[in-house]
Amino acid sequence: MPHIGDKQPVSQPVSEPVPRPVSLGTVTLTVNGEVHELIVEPQWTLQYVLHDKLGLIGTKEFCGEGACGACTVILEGRPVLSCLMLAIECDGKNIETIEGIARANHPLIEAYIKHSCMQCGFCTPGFVVTAKALLDRNPDPSIEEIKEAMVGNLCRCGTYPAHIRAIEEAAAILRGVLVAQGGEGRD
C-alpha cells in the first residue's frame, strides 16, 4: 500500500530567487499586413504577444505545449504553433492570424459556419488557420490529405467530421467550381 508514514515536518527544497529577465529585445512583426515594433522579453511566446499584447484574441492557448494546434498562425506561409515560437525569434517575419483570414473574407469562414464546425468554439480559429495554410499549398486536397493536415488540431467537443466537409467546400469555392453563398454578420 502506498504509505508515507513520516509525520515529521519536512522542508520543501527552496529554489533561489529567479532573476527577472533583463535583456529586452526589439522586434518587428508584420501581422496581417500591419507592421508592429515591439519590445519583448526573450521568453515571451508568439502566442502571448499576439493574444495579450496585440489583442488578437483569436490565437488561443489550449494545451500550451504544442499538442493541440489551437494557437496556430501562418508564419512566412507555414502553419506554426505560436505557443512554441518565441516572439523574439520572429523578428522581421510575416505572420497571418485568424483575424487576417477573417478580414480577407476567406471562404473557409462561411463554410465553417454553414457546416457548424464549432461547438464551444475555443479551438475553432486554430482549425481555420491550419485549413487555410493547407488550401494555400494544396488547393484541391483529398479527404486523406485534409485529415493528415488537420490531425494536429484537437477539438474536445469532437467537431471533426464537420471540418472535413467545410474544408472541401471552401476548396471548391476557391477553385471556382462552387459559388459561395452570401453570409451575414461580416461587420
Per CB under 8 A, 182 contacts other proteins:
no
Binding mask 81-120 for other proteins (x = CB under 8 A): ----------------xxx-xx-----xx--xxxxxxxxx
60 binds other proteins (CB under 8 A): yes
Indicate whether 24 belongs to the interface with other proteins (CB under 8 A): no
Give the up-direction half-sphere exposure of residue 77: CA atoms within 13 A in the CB hemisphere. 3
Q: Taking CB under 8 A as the rule, does residue 39 contact other proteins?
A: no
With b for 16 or more beta-carbon neighbours within 10 A and e for fewer, the 15-36 pattern comes to: eeeeeeeeeebebebebbeeee
Residue 23 contacts other proteins per CB under 8 A: no
**Phi and psi of 25, rounded to 5°?**
-125, 145
Cβ distance to other proteins smaller for residue 10 or 35: 10
Note whether 20 binds other proteins by CB under 8 A: yes
Is 117:162 a contact under the CB 8 Å cutoff?
yes
Per CB under 8 A, contacts with other proteins among 133-152 are 147, 150-152
One-letter identity of residue 53: K
